[in-house]
Amino acid sequence: MAQDTQSNALQGALVGGLALALGLYFAFHAVQGDFGLFSRIQIEADEQVLIAERDVLLAQLSILENQTRRLSDANLDLDLLDERARDVLGFMRPDELVIR
């Protein structure tokens, strides 16, 4: 009878230890794993950086679309054309002063 109680106590301790080990394993991976809390925080921080980068790129795209529209055949802006030609070709009028 005493041996049965020792055996049951040992089995209970083994099951409890196994349950504790599994619980700790899953808790660790819930925090540290690939899909854990720390990874989620890092992904959210990366998302904010990418959103800011996207906003900058959208602003640059808007500027380029505006310049493209102003240089099209339908709406030719002579001042912008003159500015771009001078910038690309490096030309200037004799009465201009270039400061770099």
What pLDDT score does 2 carry? 60
Q: Which tens digits make up the pLDDT trace of 29-39?
A: 898 888 889 99
Nearest to 88 by CA among 73, 66, 71: 71
11: phi then psi, degrees, rounded to nearest 5: -65, -40
Q: Which tens digits make up the pLDDT trace of 29-73?
A: 898 888 889 999 999 999 999 999 999 999 999 999 998 888 888
pTM of the model: 0.58
Query: Do residues 32 and 26 make contact, with C-beta atoms less than 8 angstroms apart?
Result: no
What pLDDT score does 76 carry? 86
Tokens for 52, please give them: 């800011």
What pLDDT score does 1 carry? 54
